[in-house]
Structure 1
Amino acid sequence: MTNDRYLALIGSQFDAAFAMLEECIRKCPPKHWDGLIAKYPFWQVVYHTLYCTDIYSAKSESAWQTHPKFHPQGKSEVDNEYPSREFTKRELLAYLKYTQARVHESLAAETTRSLAAPAGFSWLKMTRAEVPMYSMRHVQHHIGQLSAYLRRASVKPKWTKGGVAK
């Protein structure tokens, strides 16, 4: 399998994961937006999922740049356990689209050489080739939490089988 094919398949599966996350956001009833998943509100689990995916789309922890719309306090926004403020559905849907674009930009920039290089994050002892799969597992973990929470509230988010890779 070529690197281009591998990256296209990873991008396709990210699109499927993002579709599932978007469904969770859209289907969450207003009265459950602040409902707790473990000790975090629903919206914060979504925010955490997106900012981690955003970070892993950078070449390294030092290369990651905050966006003032999504990180009002800069990097300290994600260093603290709780964000500086609550984010709305609309804001998190915008952050999802922003992050999805960043993931695709990141995948498009990868080369055989870059994929063989270290991850670029001090806490990840792996190569760049593994980072997208690691990130996707993280996204799916939280989609599982969000989906289970919604199902307990009689809301049934759907499974997305795949993206658009041919």
Structure 2
Amino acid sequence: MINGLNESLWKQFGASIDMLKNAIALWPEEKWNTEKKFFYNAYHCLVFLEYYLNIPWKKNFSPALPFTSADPDKIPAEAIDDMIPDRIYSKAELLSYLQSSREKCHALILGLTAEKLVERWVEEDGNRNYSVFELLIYNMRHVQHHAAQLNLYLRQNINNAPRWVSRAKDDL
């Protein structure tokens, strides 16, 4: 039972990550530093993808592509939340970061046991208190939400968007 659950979870989570990758890859290089809303959205999604794979929860999470929490009065209009990247990272850097998180997600799901799925993931402030299974679904939904937003930006800006990915191609 657990192997089938893990396989299905990976096939769908991997597909969400692949859709995010396809959207980032399609965004034109010439718009990368000028249309920053796309970048900020992709960056936010990648940081939280990595953060929610931080199991068990660790207080001193530090993303692979660092950010600074900004003073609310100094947040650029394009930014999401108060996460201000230390710089505008290149498309290649974001895609590399995405691949690293994809591999981490794959390894995490591959190693899941029935016991691990029900362990609690609790942030220090108690805002989020999920089972590992629920956290993975939450994370997958977050990735898919932002992949959809990026696809909308693509349609609005270049009248093109990647096709739907129904399942990750690689097996667990």
Q: Which residue of 1 aligns with 2:120?
A: 118
Alignment of 1:125-144 (within 5 A): 125-144=129-148
Give the RMSD, CA atoms, in angstroms.
Answer: 2.4
Query: In 1, Cα distance between the equivalents of 2:26 and 2:88?
Result: 18
Structure 2 counterpart of 1:57, one-letter code: L
Q: Which residue of 2 aligns with 1:45?
A: 41
Query: In 1, Cα distance between the equivalents of 2:10 and 2:60?
Result: 20
Q: Which residue of 1 aligns with 2:108?
A: 106
Task: Kindly indicate which of the two structures has a greater share of residues assigned to strand.
Answer: 2
Q: Which residue of 1 aligns with 2:7?
A: 8
Q: Is 1:66 aligned to 2:70, yes or no? A: no
Alignment of 1:23-102 (within 5 A): 23-33=22-32, 34-35=34-35, 41-62=37-58, 65-66=61-62, 69-71=64-66, 80-102=82-104
Partner of 2:129: helix, strand, or coil? coil
**What per-residue deviation string (whole Å, max 9, x for no partner) do you get for residues 93-131 of structure 1?**
100100001111221232211211212333223211111
TM-score calculated relative to the size of structure 1: 0.82
Contact 1:120 1:128 in 2 (8 A): no
TM-superposed CA distance for 1:80, in Å, is 4.5
In the alignment of these two chains, the number of paired residues is 157
Contact 2:118 2:132 in 1 (8 A): yes
TM-score calculated relative to the size of structure 2: 0.80
Query: In 1, Cα distance between the equivalents of 2:105 and 2:24?
Result: 19
TM-superposed CA distance for 1:72, in Å, is 6.9
5+ unaligned residues in a row in structure 2: which ranges? Answer: 71-80
Q: Is 1:162 aligned to 2:167, yes or no? A: yes
Contact 1:59 1:120 in 2 (8 A): no
Contact 1:53 1:135 in 2 (8 A): yes
Query: In 1, Cα distance between the equivalents of 2:8 and 2:59?
Result: 25
Q: Which residue of 2 aligns with 1:147?
A: 151
Query: Structure 1 stretch 19-28 or stretch 104-113: which is displaced more?
Result: 104-113
Query: In 2, Cα distance between the equivalents of 1:29 and 1:99?
Result: 23
Identical positions, percent:
27
